[in-house]
Amino acid sequence: MKNYKIIISSVVATVLLAGCSVTPKPILPEQIKEDVSNNLQHLNNISQAVTKPITLDEAINRAINNNLSRKLDLLSSALAEQKIDIVAFEALPSLTTKAGYSQRNNYAASSSVPFRDGEPGDLTNSYSVSQDKESETTGVAFSWNVLDFGLSYVRANQQSDRFLIAKEKERKSIHNIKEEVRSAYYQAVSADELLKNIRPIMKEAEAALNDSEKMTKLNLDSPIKSLTYQRELLEVIRSLNTLEENLVKSKTELLKLMGLKPGTPFELAEKIQNKYELPTVEIPVEKLERYALENRPELQETRYQERISQDEVKAVMLKMLPGIDLNAGYSSDNSKYLLNNDWISYGASVSWNLMSVFNSNLNHKLAETQIELAKQQKLALSMAVISQVHISLLDFEQAKKDYILSEKYFGVAKEIYKIIENENALDVNGNLSLIKEKLNYLISNLRLSSSYAKVQNSYGKVISSVGNEEFFNKPVEKTEPVLVIEKTEEIIKEEVIVNPVIEDKVEKTISGERTAYTITDLNLREKPTLNSKVIGRVSKGEKVTIIKEEVENPRWYKTANGYLWVQNVQIENNN
CA distances from 115 to 112, 127, 128, 313 (A): 9, 17, 18, 57
Q: Which pLDDT does position 504 carry in this prediction?
A: 37
Distance CA 212, CA 220 (A): 10
pLDDT digit string (tens) for 39-92?
777 666 656 667 788 888 888 888 877 765 655 655 565 565 556 556 555 656
| pLDDT average, residue stretch 251-272 | 80
Count of C-beta atoms within a 10 Å radius of residue 170? 18
Check: CB of residue 551 under 8 Å from CB of residue 525: no
**Nearest-CA neighbor of 93 among 158, 160, 141?**
141
Of 455-469, 499-513, 548-562, give the lowest mean pLDDT range. Answer: 499-513
The reply to whether 476-575 shares the fold of 49-90+160-321+361-467 is no
Q: Which pLDDT does position 500 carry in this prediction?
A: 35
CA distances from 275 to 148, 451, 452 (A): 68, 11, 9
Class of domain 49-90+160-321+361-467: mainly alpha
Query: Which residues have a Cβ under 8 Å from the Cβ of 7 and sit 6 or more positions away?
Result: none
Mean per-residue pLDDT over the chain, rounded: 75
Count of C-beta atoms within a 10 Å radius of residue 414? 16
Q: Which pLDDT does position 13 carry in this prediction?
A: 67
CB burial of residue 489 (10 Å; 0-12, 13-18, 19+): exposed
Angle between helices 297-319 and 146-217 (to 10 degrees): 150
Check: CB of residue 146 under 8 Å from CB of residue 324: yes
Check: CB of residue 128 under 8 Å from CB of residue 81: no
Check: CB of residue 296 under 8 Å from CB of residue 169: no
Query: Greatest CA span in the chain, whole angstroms?
Result: 139
Amino acid identity of residue 134, one-letter, is E
**Nearest-CA neighbor of 289 among 388, 374, 171, 172?**
388
Distance CA 165, CA 144 (A): 31
Q: How confident is the model at residue 495 (pLDDT cuts 50, 70, 90)?
A: very low
Count of C-beta atoms within a 10 Å radius of residue 317? 15
The CA dihedral of 379, 384, 386, 388, to the nearest 10 degrees, is -160
Give the residue extent of every domain in the chain: 49-90+160-321+361-467, 476-575
**Global confidence as pTM:** 0.56
- Residue 558 pairs in a beta bridge with 548, 563
Q: What is the 3-state secondary structure (H, E, C) of 364-399?
A: HHHHHHHHHHHHHHHHHHHHHHHHHHHHHHHHHHHH
Fold annotation for 476-575: SH3 type barrels. (2.30.30)
- The helix/strand count (H/E) of the chain reads as 10, 13
**Nearest-CA neighbor of 506 among 519, 523, 524?**
519
Does 491 have pLDDT greater than 50? Answer: no
> Buried b / exposed e across 241-255, counting CB within 10 Å, b at 16+?
eebeeebeebbbbbb
Q: Which pLDDT does position 44 carry in this prediction?
A: 65
CA distances from 195 to 74, 303, 407, 565 (A): 38, 49, 20, 44
Query: Which residues have a Cβ under 8 Å from the Cβ of 177 and sit 6 or more positions away?
Result: 60, 63, 64, 67, 69, 70, 257
CA 408, 281, 395 angle in degrees (round to 5)? 60
Asked whether the CA dihedral 264, 269, 273, 277 is positive or negative, the reply is: negative
Does 477 have pLDDT greater than 50? Answer: no
Q: Which pLDDT does position 526 carry in this prediction?
A: 80
| 245-249, 332-336, 562-566 — most confident range | 332-336
Query: Which residues have a Cβ under 8 Å from the Cβ of 282 and sit 6 or more positions away?
Result: 476, 494, 495, 496, 530
Q: Which pLDDT does position 245 carry in this prediction?
A: 78
Distance CA 204, CA 259 (A): 37
Of 1-5, 6-10, 426-430, 491-495, give the lowest mean pLDDT range. Answer: 491-495
Distance CA 235, CA 194 (A): 19
- Residue 559 pairs in a beta bridge with 546
Residue 303, classed as helix, strand or coil, is helix
pLDDT digit string (tens) for 522-561?
778 787 766 567 787 787 778 788 877 655 555 677 887 8
411: left (phi over 0), alpha (psi -120 to 50) or beta: alpha
CA distances from 477 to 223, 291, 499, 527 (A): 72, 13, 12, 18
Query: Which residues have a Cβ under 8 Å from the Cβ of 199 and sit 6 or more positions away?
Result: 244
| 42-56, 386-400, 499-513 — most confident range | 386-400
Share of the chain above pLDDT 70, in %: 76
372: left (phi over 0), alpha (psi -120 to 50) or beta: alpha
Distance CA 549, CA 556 (A): 6
List, edge to edge, every strand of the sheet that includes 534-538.
Answer: 534-538, 522-525, 563-565, 556-559, 543-549, 514-518, 569-571
**Nearest-CA neighbor of 521 among 557, 555, 495, 493?**
495
CA distances from 276 to 62, 407, 443 (A): 25, 9, 17
| pLDDT average, residue stretch 439-444 | 79
Q: In 305-464, at which residue ranges do the beta strands (DSSP E only) sit? A: 323-333, 342-351
Does 434 have pLDDT greater than 80? Answer: no
pLDDT digit string (tens) for 11-36?
666 666 555 555 777 887 787 877 87
What does residue 143 show for φ and ψ, rounded to 5 degrees? -140, 150
321-324, long-range: CB < 8 A, 24+ apart = 321/147, 321/352, 322/147, 322/350, 322/351, 322/352, 323/145, 323/146, 323/147, 323/148, 323/350, 323/351, 323/352, 324/145, 324/146, 324/147, 324/348, 324/349, 324/350
